């Protein structure tokens, strides 16, 4: 199987801007990951109209940006269903400022929560654990980096928050997401 990869975050920013889309790569990826974790089947292709409605007033995306979105869906789906615990939250590179990365994480989480809602998941359909996960994510979406605090300490805490977000997404996918198809082995009698 061919390994799917995304371009660098900064290149994705350039592509989305060049196509006059008012969405960041973090928002796009978070929205798509939220839809997948909410049970969307990426093979149906119904994620595109939802993406267009949420990000571009229903208008389709230009080819290059649509390709970025399709690659994001494919990669996130592989990571979530692969059983390897390798799902990644798409954020700017570590060489970007902590403030920019913090803003992007907030955008990712907010869009992720919106993606869960777009596929029709309501609190009544969730287990207590998933309700707690969504409550955590709601709080994380409101967090920010304090420029007056020790930035080294904030960077360490930020990495812990990213890991928590990643685990939250995988937890929701485990409950609500499409499970990988496994071949049933015939029963020998």
Task: Single out the residue of 108, 104, 115 nearest to residue 32, CA to CA.
Answer: 115
CA atoms within 13 A on the CB side of 138: 8
Instruction: Dump pLDDT digits (tens) for 88-98.
Output: 999 999 889 99
CB 3 within 8 A of CB 31: no
Mean pLDDT of the chain: 89
Architecture of domain 9-176: Up-down Bundle (1.20)
| % residues pLDDT > 90 (the chain) | 70
Distance between CA 47 and CA 118 in Å, rounded?
Answer: 10
Query: Is 189's pLDDT higher than 70?
Result: no
Instruction: Dump pLDDT digits (tens) for 4-46.
Output: 678 899 999 999 999 999 999 999 999 999 999 999 999 888 9
Token digits of residue 162: 């990213």
Query: For position 2, what pLDDT does the model report?
Result: 55
Query: Is 183's pLDDT higher than 80?
Result: no
Instruction: Dump pLDDT digits (tens) for 131-156.
Output: 999 999 999 999 888 777 888 888 99
The domains of the chain are located at 9-176
């Amino acid at each position: 199987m061919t390994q799917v990869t995304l371009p660098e975050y900064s290149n994705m920013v350039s592509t989305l801007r060049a196509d006059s889309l008012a969405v960041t790569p973090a928002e796009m990826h978070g929205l798509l990951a939220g839809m997948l974790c909410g049970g969307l089947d990426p093979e149906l292709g119904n994620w595109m109209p939802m993406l267009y409605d949420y990000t571009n007033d229903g208008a389709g995306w230009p080819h290059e940006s649509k390709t970025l979105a399709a690659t994001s869906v494919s990669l996130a789906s592989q990571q979530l269903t692969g059983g390897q615990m390798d799902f990644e939250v798409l954020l700017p590179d570590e060489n970007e400022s902590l403030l920019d990365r913090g803003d992007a994480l907030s955008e990712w989480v907010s869009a992720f929560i919106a993606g869960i809602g777009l596929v029709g998941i309501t609190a009544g359909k969730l287990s207590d654990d998933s309700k707690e996960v969504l409550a955590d994510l709601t709080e994380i979406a409101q967090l920010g980096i304090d420029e007056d605090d020790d930035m080294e300490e904030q960077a360490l805490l930020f990495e812990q928050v990213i890991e928590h977000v990643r685990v939250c997404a995988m937890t929701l996918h485990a409950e609500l997401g499409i499970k990988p198809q496994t071949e049933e082995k015939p029963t020998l009698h």
